[in-house]
Amino acid sequence: MDLAQLIRTKRPDIKDNSIALYVSCIDKIHDMKEYKTLRQLYKTEAVLNKLESFNLAPTTYKNYVQSMAVALDALPKQTKRCKDTIKIYRKIMFDKEKARQKYVDTHSKSEKEKKNWVTLEYLKQKAEEYKKIYEEKPYTSYRQWKGKNIALMNYIVSLFYSNPPVLPRLEIANLRVGDALKMLEVDGLDKLNYLIIYDKKITMTINEDKTTKHTGPRTITLPDIFSEPIRTLYKKFREGQWGAMGSDSHGVGDEPPLIGPPFMFHPRVGWGTYAKGMTNNAFGKWVGRLFEDHENNRKPTATTIRHIIISSEVDLDHEEKLDSLAEGAGHSRKQQRSYAKK
């Protein structure tokens, strides 16, 4: 059965990577064997026992259960048994999320986070190390030139995850970058995530990530520390593999209206892929590798790094005090801020 097409027909607005995740989960439940129906998913007890045997992380477990609900909901014929099974899986998701939120409210680190926790100072130190590597990298030959490009990529990515309040999600894996005039030539700009290089500033606009559906698009001006490396990336290293003629050309050629910053040109993706970019998952692994603490055997993930940075900037005792004040006064935190005077 073409499960991906069934899901796409049922949910036309869903992203391809979400569909791929759902299908992958269902495939694994079927032991990667071909299946023509989803009858196996009706055997909820057996399926849930199977998930337990996988020893999944809580988030991954939730993805599996959600995948089963989505897959069954995509079936053209919605029988009573199908609807009842969907309700079971959705209740499990609700209960798991309720338990997760209760744990989150304790503000406690998980065991995995405790093992891999580092400090904001460590993150900044790693960014400085990547800057030094980039500055000392020779580029007298074409091969060395490519190596210097990679060093610059690593430095820029490390800046994004060590300089609050800049703290993007993994969706910057598909960032585009260009100057203001070239960006005006691009169709569908309101659907892209991109950087614009102006004479005296660089802005980052996020139109598509997991929160924009609720919060709307956002644009920020990047701190000055980003200026030199990003301008260097855009103006000096867009030749060769980044030229419009692709990786086989060592000349500049006609420049494309959009080129990607480092996230789109990591060698694991392949050179000359400025129009395609990197997946969020691959980019997240890249971030993790950049900040790995080999000496102390710590491997912070991109998600853990977000927690580290936010934890360094937020005073939980003060936040709880403000929450109590708002609750006692009978208004929201937002309204409370509007009442406060300098």
Q: What is the pTM of this model?
A: 0.75
Where are any strands of DSSP class E within the chain?
176-179, 194-197, 202-206, 218-221
Reduced to 3 states (helix: H, G, I; strand: E, B; else coil), residue 37 is coil
DSSP 83-138: HHHHHHHHHHHHHHHHHHHHHHTTTPPPHHHHHH---HHHHHHHHHHHHHHHHH--
- How many Å from the N-terminal Cα to the C-terminal Cα in the chain? 64
- Tell the residue number behind the tokens 């993790």, with chain if given: 288
pLDDT tens digit string along 40-89?
Answer: 999 999 999 999 999 998 889 999 999 999 999 999 999 999 999 999 99
pLDDT tens digit string along 206-247?
Answer: 998 878 888 889 999 999 999 999 888 777 665 444 433 334
Give the per-residue pLDDT at 274. Answer: 43
**Are the beta carbons of 75 and 83 closer than 8 angstroms?**
no
Beta-carbon contacts of residue 45 (< 8 Å; ≥ 6 apart): none
What average pLDDT values come out for the chain (342 residues) when binned by 10 residues? 95 90 96 94 96 90 96 96 97 92 89 95 97 82 66 91 91 79 78 88 89 88 94 67 39 41 40 56 89 96 94 93 93 92 88
